[in-house]
Structure 1
Amino acid sequence: MYEIPQLDLKNRVSDVEWQTRVELAAAYRLFVMHGWDDLIHTHISARIPGTEELLINAFGLAFDEVTASNLVKIDIEGNVIDPGCPFTINPAGFTIHSAVHEARPDDQCALHVHTNDTAAIASLKEGLLPLSQYSMFALASLSYHDYEGLAVNHEEKLRLQNDLGNTNFMLLRNHGALTMGKTIGDAFMHMYDLTRACQIQLQIQATGQEPQYVDQSIVDGIKAQANIVHSGITGGQTAWPAMMRKVKRAYPDFDQ
């Protein structure tokens, strides 16, 4: 009940899979460091490059218990691939991830959170507003998906896929947020930007004063530059190595 099975897959999987495992485990620890985790709920999933196989957290583990070796390898339907794997996954939580990975095969990573800030903004009829530079990043590639109850209905998948389209940021109405990325680092930075945008908006609205909106022409200009804003120097690859080092200092066992 209290013991976690100890696994060591470092020399039993390909170098590409191991690197994906290490980076995904780091993302789970970063969730804890930023206060984005939700007991054992919500997920980060990543595709192993060059395959159709996905990695996700074991159901029942806290995010600060996730390691590179105890991530679970599954197919797009959520079936555990590794024979003898002692862990299971949360099938309800995987509904969203299976939908977005199926729709976006070129994206490696999907992050989903239930943070107060993202859920609050997602529950406002007006949604995210152009009030800060962080909101500019998100508004450049933002979509919404209406709440349909707990994400266990496979019929919802098509509607979710259609709503997501080619965007990198999604607010799930009355629920939380989702970000996509070509890499795990990109998906993490997208969630960082979206979370900051939501936090700032709530703080501005709490003052009760009339906000200063960013001019629509600027919003439109940033949308036109979305391919620059969400890749390269402003994307995850610049900040991600520093985030990996930060995780290693705080949690030396994450990459085991």
Structure 2
Amino acid sequence: MPSKKEKVSAEEWQLRVDLAAAYRLIALHGWDDLIFTHISARIPGDEHHFLINPYGMMFEEITASSLVRVDQEANKLDPDDYDINPAGFTIHSAIHAVREDAACVMHTHTTAGVAVSAQKDGLLPLSQQSLFPLSNLAYHDYEGVALREDEKARLQADLGESNFMILRNHGLLTVGSSIADAFLGMFILQRACEIQIGALAGNRELTPIPGGIVDTIKQQAAQVTKGMGGNLAWPGLLRKLDRIDPSFRE
């Protein structure tokens, strides 16, 4: 894959490096689904262009140069790029179109995430991890593979201003003002789902967290990350990837 480093702005290149890192981290944590699901990042500017993965590449193979720049009509800006998944475009373009704060949209099909999405009561207040998404969580009912244009409006309405979403019978989605924020959100939501599935499998009476504590978590979240959000952990995650395989930067 020829390098795009000299063909794009420094700002876009840094965005590409961070997005490629997010794909590698999803694979590293075992949250990928072969070549399916997506992470997108909006390129700053009035065009509302965004970067998304090439359809057919494994997440562990994604590099900064392999990411595809598309417009709101799913047109590739570089005809030499690989094609993209139309289902991924439907979900991600819908959110980028209406959420100016959505610099990154992350979507997964993990076992624990899909399992919780299939449970009638959704995410339960069973763990400290669950409190953060519960303070800002939306749901979207399953309508089949996300290919229909008319589903976009319903997805947008259901998400509203939330940064966490459970797609019923489908998976998890997070939105962030940066790639780092979206990844931290997904890490917490995924962990909360894993804990819930584990707790429900224990065949013992559960102790839910009182509602009053759930209501205070928004104020506490900023304190936990020292106001830095995902950027508190992101440099360490990049160092970890560099130790394992720095080729995401190519």
Q: TM-score range by the shorter chain?
A: over 0.9
Q: Do structure 1's residue 252 and structure 2's residue 239 form an aligned pair? A: no
Q: Hey, what does 1:26 align to over in structure 2?
A: 21
Aligned-pair distance for 1:250?
Answer: 1.2
1:254 is paired with a residue whose SS is helix
2:76 aligned to which of 80, 86, 104: 80
The yes-or-no answer on 1:240 pairing with 2:234 is yes
The CA distance in 2 between the partners of 1:100 and 1:42, in whole Å, is 15
Aligned residue among 135, 138, 145 for 1:140: 135
Following superposition of structure 1 onto structure 2, how do residues 176-187 of structure 1 map, counting pairs within 5 Å? 176-187=171-182
For residues 222 and 35 of structure 1, do their structure 2 counterparts lie closer, same or farther at Cα, with a shift above 3 Å needed? same
Distance in 1 between residues matched to 2:146 and 2:226, nearest whole Å: 33
What is the SS of the residue equivalent to 1:45? strand
Q: Distance in 1 between matches of 2:135 and 2:38?
A: 24
Among 44, 61, 68, the alignment partner of 1:65 is 61
What is the TM-score normalised by the length of structure 1? 0.93
After superposition, the Cα gap between the structure-2 partners of 1:41 and 1:48, relative to the gap in structure 1 and judged at 3 Å, is same
User: Amino acid of the residue matched to residue 58 of structure 2?
Assistant: A
Q: What count of residue pairs does the alignment treat as equivalent?
A: 249
- 1:66-98 deviations in Å (ceiling 9; x for gaps): 10001000012211012x323110112211001
The aligned amino acid for 1:94 is F
Task: Using the TM superposition, give the Cα deviation of residue 12 of structure 1 relative to its aligned residue in structure 2, in angstroms.
Answer: 1.1
Residue identity in the other structure for 1:238: L
Q: Does 1:228 align with 2:203?
A: no
Cα distance in 2 between the residues matched to 1:142 and 1:161: 14
Partner of residue 198, structure 2: 203
**1:193 correspondence with 2:195:** no
1:126 partnered with 2:121: yes
The structural deviation recorded for 1:229 is 6.8
Residue deviations 1:138-178 (CA, integer Å, cap 9, x gap): 10110000000010011110000000001110000000010
Does the CA contact (< 8 Å) of 1:141 and 1:226 recur in 2? no
Quote how far apart the aligned CAs of 1:105 are: 1.8
Letter of the structure 2 residue corresponding to residue 162 of structure 1: A
Q: Percent identity?
A: 53
One-letter code aligned to 2:231: Q
Q: Does 1:156 align with 2:147?
A: no
Cα deviation digits, residues 52-75 of structure 1 (max 9, x gap): 210000011111111000100001
Counterparts of 1:113 and 1:252, CA distance in 2: 23
Equivalent pair of 1:186/1:231 in contact (CA under 8 Å): no
The question of whether the paired residues in 2 share the 8 Å contact of 1:186 and 1:230 is answered with no
Q: Distance in 2 between matches of 1:145 and 1:27?
A: 24
Tell me the C-alpha RMSD between the 2 structures. Answer: 1.5
Q: Give the partner amino acid of 1:75.
A: D
The answer for unaligned runs of 5 or more in structure 1 is: 1-5
Shift of 1:228: 2.8
Q: Which runs of 4+ in 1 moved over 6 A?
A: none
1:231 is displaced (CA, Å) by 6.9
Letter in 1 for 2:68: V
Report if the CA contact (8 A) 1:140-1:226 is conserved: no
Q: Distance in 2 between matches of 1:23 and 1:37?
A: 17
- Deviation of 1:47 after TM superposition, in Å, equals 0.7
Q: TM-score, normalised by structure 2?
A: 0.96
Q: What's the offset of the Cα at 1:130? A: 0.4
Q: Look up the match of 1:215.
A: 210
Whether 1:35 aligns to 2:30 is: yes
Question: Residue type matched to 2:30 in 1?
Answer: G
Tell me the CA shift for residue 49 of structure 1: 2.4
1:253 match: secondary structure:
helix
Task: Tell me which residue corresponds to 1:92.
Answer: 87
